[in-house]
Amino acid sequence: MPFKLEDFHGKHPFPPSEKKPTLITRDKIVTFAYGNKPHLDFNWLFVSTDKLHVGIYQIPPGGRFEPSDVHAGDELYYILKGTLTMFNPETGDVHKVSKGEVLLIPKDGWHQGHNFTDEVVTILFAIAPLMWDPEKGPPLEFPGKPKLYKVP
Protein backbone atom coordinates (compact mmCIF):
# COMPACT_ATOMS: atom_id res chain seq x y z
CA MET A 1 0.00 0.00 0.00
CA PRO A 2 1.52 3.39 -0.97
CA PHE A 3 2.06 5.90 1.79
CA LYS A 4 -0.12 8.99 1.83
CA LEU A 5 1.54 12.16 3.06
CA GLU A 6 -0.32 14.25 5.61
CA ASP A 7 -2.55 16.96 4.13
CA PHE A 8 -0.32 19.71 5.54
CA HIS A 9 2.88 18.39 3.89
CA GLY A 10 4.28 21.01 1.50
CA LYS A 11 1.40 23.43 1.95
CA HIS A 12 1.37 24.78 5.48
CA PRO A 13 0.48 27.57 6.19
CA PHE A 14 -0.34 28.10 2.50
CA PRO A 15 -0.07 26.24 -0.81
CA PRO A 16 3.04 26.99 -2.92
CA SER A 17 1.03 29.22 -5.29
CA GLU A 18 -0.05 31.53 -2.44
CA LYS A 19 3.23 32.32 -0.66
CA LYS A 20 3.40 35.60 1.26
CA PRO A 21 4.84 36.86 4.54
CA THR A 22 2.75 35.15 7.21
CA LEU A 23 2.58 35.30 10.98
CA ILE A 24 2.39 31.75 12.34
CA THR A 25 0.34 32.12 15.51
CA ARG A 26 -0.08 29.26 18.00
CA ASP A 27 -3.42 28.24 16.52
CA LYS A 28 -1.74 27.71 13.11
CA ILE A 29 0.98 25.35 14.39
CA VAL A 30 0.40 21.73 13.33
CA THR A 31 0.94 19.24 16.16
CA PHE A 32 1.44 15.50 15.76
CA ALA A 33 3.34 12.51 17.11
CA TYR A 34 5.79 10.74 14.81
CA GLY A 35 6.22 7.01 15.01
CA ASN A 36 4.19 3.94 15.74
CA LYS A 37 5.51 2.99 19.18
CA PRO A 38 4.85 4.33 22.69
CA HIS A 39 8.23 6.14 22.75
CA LEU A 40 7.24 8.63 20.04
CA ASP A 41 8.44 12.12 19.48
CA PHE A 42 6.02 15.02 19.75
CA ASN A 43 6.08 17.68 17.01
CA TRP A 44 5.08 21.30 16.53
CA LEU A 45 5.36 22.03 12.81
CA PHE A 46 5.59 25.74 12.02
CA VAL A 47 6.14 25.62 8.26
CA SER A 48 5.91 22.93 5.59
CA THR A 49 6.26 24.46 2.13
CA ASP A 50 7.59 23.08 -1.13
CA LYS A 51 11.04 24.44 -0.14
CA LEU A 52 11.30 24.44 3.67
CA HIS A 53 10.09 22.54 6.75
CA VAL A 54 10.66 23.96 10.24
CA GLY A 55 9.43 22.94 13.66
CA ILE A 56 10.26 21.74 17.13
CA TYR A 57 10.03 18.25 18.48
CA GLN A 58 10.56 16.61 21.84
CA ILE A 59 11.65 13.14 22.88
CA PRO A 60 10.72 12.09 26.42
CA PRO A 61 13.26 10.61 28.85
CA GLY A 62 14.20 7.10 27.72
CA GLY A 63 12.40 7.65 24.40
CA ARG A 64 13.35 7.57 20.75
CA PHE A 65 11.72 8.07 17.40
CA GLU A 66 10.92 4.98 15.46
CA PRO A 67 11.12 4.01 12.67
CA SER A 68 14.46 5.46 11.64
CA ASP A 69 14.00 8.45 9.38
CA VAL A 70 15.50 9.75 6.14
CA HIS A 71 14.70 12.94 4.26
CA ALA A 72 14.73 14.19 0.67
CA GLY A 73 16.59 17.32 1.82
CA ASP A 74 19.33 18.35 4.23
CA GLU A 75 18.23 18.56 7.86
CA LEU A 76 19.58 20.71 10.66
CA TYR A 77 19.00 20.03 14.37
CA TYR A 78 19.58 22.73 16.97
CA ILE A 79 19.26 21.38 20.52
CA LEU A 80 17.21 23.77 22.65
CA LYS A 81 17.17 21.58 25.78
CA GLY A 82 18.77 18.31 26.88
CA THR A 83 21.07 15.88 25.07
CA LEU A 84 20.15 13.91 21.98
CA THR A 85 21.99 10.80 20.83
CA MET A 86 21.62 10.47 17.08
CA PHE A 87 22.25 7.09 15.48
CA ASN A 88 22.66 6.28 11.76
CA PRO A 89 21.54 2.62 11.36
CA GLU A 90 23.12 2.45 7.90
CA THR A 91 26.67 3.46 8.94
CA GLY A 92 26.65 2.87 12.71
CA ASP A 93 27.70 6.49 13.31
CA VAL A 94 26.59 8.03 16.60
CA HIS A 95 26.59 11.70 17.59
CA LYS A 96 25.83 13.01 21.06
CA VAL A 97 24.40 16.52 20.64
CA SER A 98 23.82 18.80 23.63
CA LYS A 99 21.99 22.06 24.30
CA GLY A 100 23.31 24.85 22.06
CA GLU A 101 24.92 22.45 19.56
CA VAL A 102 23.92 21.80 15.95
CA LEU A 103 23.84 18.57 13.97
CA LEU A 104 23.66 18.57 10.17
CA ILE A 105 22.17 15.47 8.54
CA PRO A 106 22.71 15.40 4.77
CA LYS A 107 19.97 14.44 2.33
CA ASP A 108 19.30 10.67 2.35
CA GLY A 109 21.15 10.27 5.68
CA TRP A 110 19.35 7.73 7.86
CA HIS A 111 18.93 8.77 11.48
CA GLN A 112 17.20 7.79 14.69
CA GLY A 113 17.16 10.05 17.76
CA HIS A 114 17.44 8.58 21.26
CA ASN A 115 17.09 10.24 24.63
CA PHE A 116 19.16 8.27 27.15
CA THR A 117 18.72 10.95 29.84
CA ASP A 118 16.08 11.70 32.46
CA GLU A 119 15.32 15.12 30.90
CA VAL A 120 13.08 15.90 27.91
CA VAL A 121 15.09 16.70 24.76
CA THR A 122 13.76 19.63 22.71
CA ILE A 123 15.02 20.08 19.15
CA LEU A 124 14.50 22.86 16.61
CA PHE A 125 14.69 21.30 13.14
CA ALA A 126 14.81 22.65 9.60
CA ILE A 127 14.71 20.60 6.40
CA ALA A 128 15.27 22.01 2.91
CA PRO A 129 14.05 21.65 0.29
CA LEU A 130 11.86 18.57 0.88
CA MET A 131 10.97 16.64 4.00
CA TRP A 132 9.89 13.53 2.09
CA ASP A 133 9.60 12.60 -1.54
CA PRO A 134 5.92 13.07 -2.48
CA GLU A 135 5.94 9.71 -4.28
CA LYS A 136 7.59 7.67 -1.50
CA GLY A 137 6.55 9.48 1.68
CA PRO A 138 8.36 8.87 4.98
CA PRO A 139 10.07 5.53 5.57
CA LEU A 140 7.97 2.83 7.15
CA GLU A 141 11.08 1.08 8.43
CA PHE A 142 14.84 1.01 7.91
CA PRO A 143 15.40 -1.24 4.88
CA GLY A 144 18.69 -2.84 6.00
CA LYS A 145 19.98 -4.57 9.08
CA PRO A 146 21.01 -1.86 11.58
CA LYS A 147 24.72 -1.78 12.50
CA LEU A 148 25.77 -2.08 16.11
CA TYR A 149 26.90 1.07 17.81
CA LYS A 150 28.30 2.36 21.10
CA VAL A 151 26.88 5.45 22.71
CA PRO A 152 29.66 8.02 23.19
Residue 42 lies in a domain: yes
Residue 35 lies in a domain: yes
Range of the domain at 116: 31-128
Q: Provide the CATH number for the domain around residue 97.
A: 2.60.120.10
Residue 90 lies in a domain: yes
Residue 150 lies in a domain: no
Q: Does residue 151 carry a pLDDT above 80? A: no
Distances (CA, A) of 79 to 34, 109, 113: 18, 19, 12
Residue 120 lies in a domain: yes
Cβ(149)–Cβ(105) below 8 Å: no
| pLDDT for the residue numbered 1 | 38
pLDDT digits (tens, 9 = 90+) for 111-146: 999 999 999 999 999 999 988 877 777 777 767 665
Count the domains in the chain. 1
Residue 19 lies in a domain: no
Pick the residue with more confidence: 67 or 51?
51
In this prediction the pTM is 0.86
Residue 79 lies in a domain: yes
